[in-house]
C-alpha cells in the first residue's frame, strides 16, 4: 500500500512538470541568483535557535491558518527572534507556493529554508534560484545516491542543507554525506503519527560538531527544554506559531524568555 510520503512525492512531481523550464533557462537564472544569507551561521552560537515556519496546512491536521499575508507573518517571526524562516512550497497537502517563498524573501533579512519534498536535481537548482539559504533533504524520500548527489549539489551552489531523519538507519545513511545540520522529525511521514521518543533516541546519537534540529510536535516550553536536554541546538516550529495571536510572544515562551 502506498504511504503518505509516496503520495506526496507523486503530486510534487506532477506539479513540477507544470512549471519546469528548460535547462538553459535554469542555468541562466542560476547565474543571476542573489547572494545567500548563511543559514549555518544563523544556527550557530549560544542559545536555542528557532526555525519559524509559514505553514497554512498539513496532511495530518488539515488547515492550520489562512495566512493571507505570509510576508507579514515572516516579518513578525524575524522581529520575535527567529533565526531562520521556513516557507512551505508544496502546493497540494501544505497549501504552500513558490509565490509565498518569494514574497517572504523580499520582506525579511534572515536566512530562509525552502520546505518541500526535493526529489530531483531540478528542484535543487530551482531552490538556489529562488534564494533558499537552507534546503531540506528528507532521507526517507530519496535513494542513497540521490541523497548524496543532491546534498553535494546544494553545497556546491552555496546552500546549506537540513538533512531530515526519522530513525537510526536513516541517521546512518545521513552520515554518508558528511552533513553539518541534521533534523530529527518526530512525525512518521508514512503514517503521520508523532512519537517524541525519536528525539530521545536520535538526538544524542548525532555526532558533536553537527547542528541538531528537533522537528514536529513542539508546542510547549517543557517540550523545548526536553529536546535541549537531548542535545538540540534548534527547533523547527510551524503549527504553534501560525496559530498564535502574537508569534513573537510565542517564540519567547518556547525559549523560556
Query: pLDDT tens digits for the chain (257 residues)?
Result: 358 888 899 999 999 999 999 999 999 999 999 999 999 999 999 999 999 999 898 777 778 888 989 999 999 999 999 999 999 999 998 999 999 999 999 999 999 999 999 999 999 999 999 999 999 999 999 999 999 999 999 999 999 999 999 999 999 999 999 999 999 999 877 777 888 899 999 999 999 999 999 998 899 999 999 999 999 999 999 999 999 989 999 999 999 98
- Count other C-beta atoms under 10 Å from residue 14's C-beta: 10
Q: E strand or H helix at 226, and its extent?
A: helix 221-229
What nine digits make up the cell of 150? 543532491
Model pLDDT, residue 2: 53
CA atoms within 13 A on the CB side of 29: 15
For residues 78, 109, 88 and 162, what is the CA-based torsion angle, rounded to 10 degrees?
-100
Number of independent structural domains in the chain = 1
Give residue 66's pLDDT. 81
Give residue 54's pLDDT.
Answer: 96
Q: What is d(CA 189, CA 194) in angstroms, rounded to the nearest whole number?
A: 9
Contacts of 77-80 with C-beta under 8 Å, sequence gap 24+, read 77/50, 77/52, 77/108, 77/241, 77/247, 77/248, 77/251, 78/108, 78/109, 78/110, 79/248, 80/52, 80/247, 80/248, 80/249, 80/250, 80/251, 80/252
Return the CATH number at 67: 3.20.20.70
Q: Would you name the residues annotated as active-site residues?
A: 53, 55, 115, 164, 185, 215-216
Residue 46: domain span: 4-255
What pLDDT shows up at residue 1? 35
Burial class (CB in 10 A: 0-12, 13-18, 19+), 221: middle
Q: Which of 216, 222, 184 is nearest to 200 (CA)?
A: 184
Q: Judge residue 156's burial from the number of C-beta atoms within 10 Å of its C-beta, 0-12 exposed, 13-18 middle, 19 or more buried.
A: exposed
Q: What cell numbers appear for 207 in the block?
A: 555526532
Amino acid at each position: 500500500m502506498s504511504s503518505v510520503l509516496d503520495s506526496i512525492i507523486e503530486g510534487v512531481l506532477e506539479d513540477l512538470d507544470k512549471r519546469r523550464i528548460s535547462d538553459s533557462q535554469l542555468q541562466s537564472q542560476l547565474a543571476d541568483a542573489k547572494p545567500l544569507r548563511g543559514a549555518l551561521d544563523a544556527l550557530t552560537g549560544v542559545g536555542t535557535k528557532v526555525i519559524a515556519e509559514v505553514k497554512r496546512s498539513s496532511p495530518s491536521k488539515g488547515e492550520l491558518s489562512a495566512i493571507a499575508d505570509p510576508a507579514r507573518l515572516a516579518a513578525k517571526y524575524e522581529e520575535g527572534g527567529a533565526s531562520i524562516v521556513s516557507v512551505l512550497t508544496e502546493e497540494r497537502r501544505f497549501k504552500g507556493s513558490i509565490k509565498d517563498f518569494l514574497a517572504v524573501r523580499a520582506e525579511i533579512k534572515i536566512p530562509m529554508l525552502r520546505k518541500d519534498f526535493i526529489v530531483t536535481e531540478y528542484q535543487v537548482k530551482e531552490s538556489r534560484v529562488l534564494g533558499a539559504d537552507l534546503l531540506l533533504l528528507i532521507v526517507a524520500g530519496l535513494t542513497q545516491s540521490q541523497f548524496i548527489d543532491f546534498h553535494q549539489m546544494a553545497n556546491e551552489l552555496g546552500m546549506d542543507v537540513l538533512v531530515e531523519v526519522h530513525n537510526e538507519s536513516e541517521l546512518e545513511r545521513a552520515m554518508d554525506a558528511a552533513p553539518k545540520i541534521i533534523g530529527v522529525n518526530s512525525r512518521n511521514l508514512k503514517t503521520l503519527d508523532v512519537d517524541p521518543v525519536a528525539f530521545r533516541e536520535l538526538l544524542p546519537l548525532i555526532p558533536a560538531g553537527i547542528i541538531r534540529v528537533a522537528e514536529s510536535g513542539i508546542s510547549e516550553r517543557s517540550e523545548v527544554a526536553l529536546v535541549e536536554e537531548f542535545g538540540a541546538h534548534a527547533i523547527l516550529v510551524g503549527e504553534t506559531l501560525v496559530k498564535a495571536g502574537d508569534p513573537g510572544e510565542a517564540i519567547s515562551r518556547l525559549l523560556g524568555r
